[in-house]
Amino acid sequence: SSSSAVSSTGTPSSSSAAAAAAASGVERGQAASLAAQANALYRKNAVYQRRNMCSNVCLLSAPIFFCLLLLAVQVAINRLLLTGEDYECGCQCTKCCFNGDLNNCTSMDMAPCPYECKAVNRSACGIQYSKPRQAPFCAIPHTSSWPAILQTPKEADRAEPYRPAAALLVTGDDPDAQANLTAGLLPQPNLRAAQLLSVQRYLEGFSADVGSESGAVPAEFLSLLGLSLGTSARIQAGLYLETALVGEEPSLYALWPNGTCAALGLAGSANTSLPTMLEAMVNASNPAAVAATINQRLAGLLSDAASNGSTGAALAGRVSGIKMNCTDVVMA
């Protein structure tokens, strides 16, 4: 009776397994197909995920919740803490008044107001109207480019006995090798017609691509002209503007080998305009007749640019507005 009981209980189990195998299209003793295994795994996971509905909802909603939380914090900080003109992009000052005197006011075209601004054009905002503190809050559709500028001490802070010249310390066992290596650090003025023509084409291409409304400055053309520059302006780390040219206390030095400023006729002169510096460089680099022709062409370039629409006028104004001090450098 015992064996018959086992037989009676085992027969239905065997028959049901066989029926299931027949229903799935798999014969007994044969491995399930890949499709059958994938279908079984899919059904198993579907049942498991359905039992954990609350956990799945939390996993899906958590990123959305934290994004909304960060947005709320950002809006709160902007409205409660980052308020005032120092925390927004600068706009064009249409009434820049000296010491607040309403009778002594002017409109700023491509620069922030250095005095007290009484009226602002909110429809014209950009980095060209911003102070260094405001610059990080401005959108920059086209970035400016700046020349390489050496940190140079002010004349009062320069080492004796070289003052007013700056000293560049150079070491080496072989004097001849030292002289050959240092000759390329500060080259002599060498500005010729082909170089000016190349720079002119570069500036025209920059103006055509970018335009004057972006406020971008192609200041690397100063290096293309053969100028080695230095500054004593305080560095504003992480800011877009080069403080040597457009900072609150800009200072720019044209660095030349010792004795060059006297040869250029600029020894002791301060705040020399860029066109004057270029004219002196042309005179020192070319015969008199050729230099006169090149200087006439150089003056014509700025005049043509100033009369060639807003883009050319803006570019000519930026170039003419650059001031620098001719500075001799002693290789010591």
Residues 260, 246: contact at Cβ < 8 Å?
Answer: no
Amino acid 73: pLDDT? 93
pTM of the model: 0.58
**SS3 of residue 159 by DSSP:** coil
Lowest model confidence (mean pLDDT) among 45-54, 109-118, 185-194, 297-306: 297-306
Residue 49, token pair as written in the block: 């995920």
Amino acid (one-letter) located at 89: C
Residue 83, token pair as written in the block: 């308020």
What are 325's strand-pairing partners? 253
**Does the structure show a pLDDT above 80 at 143?**
no
CB under 8 Å to 210, separation ≥6 — which residues? 142, 216, 218
Residues 225, 190: Cα–Cα separation, whole Å: 9
Please compute the mean of the pLDDT values over residues 215-223 and round it to a whole number.
76
Please compute the mean of the pLDDT values over residues 43-51 and round it to a whole number.
85
Residues 115, 102: Cα–Cα separation, whole Å: 12
**3-state helix, strand and coil shares in percent for the chain, rounded to the nearest 5:** 50, 15, 35
CB under 8 Å to 44, separation ≥6 — which residues? none
Residue 257, token pair as written in the block: 């080998």
Residues 221, 238: Cα–Cα separation, whole Å: 22
Amino acid 42: pLDDT? 87
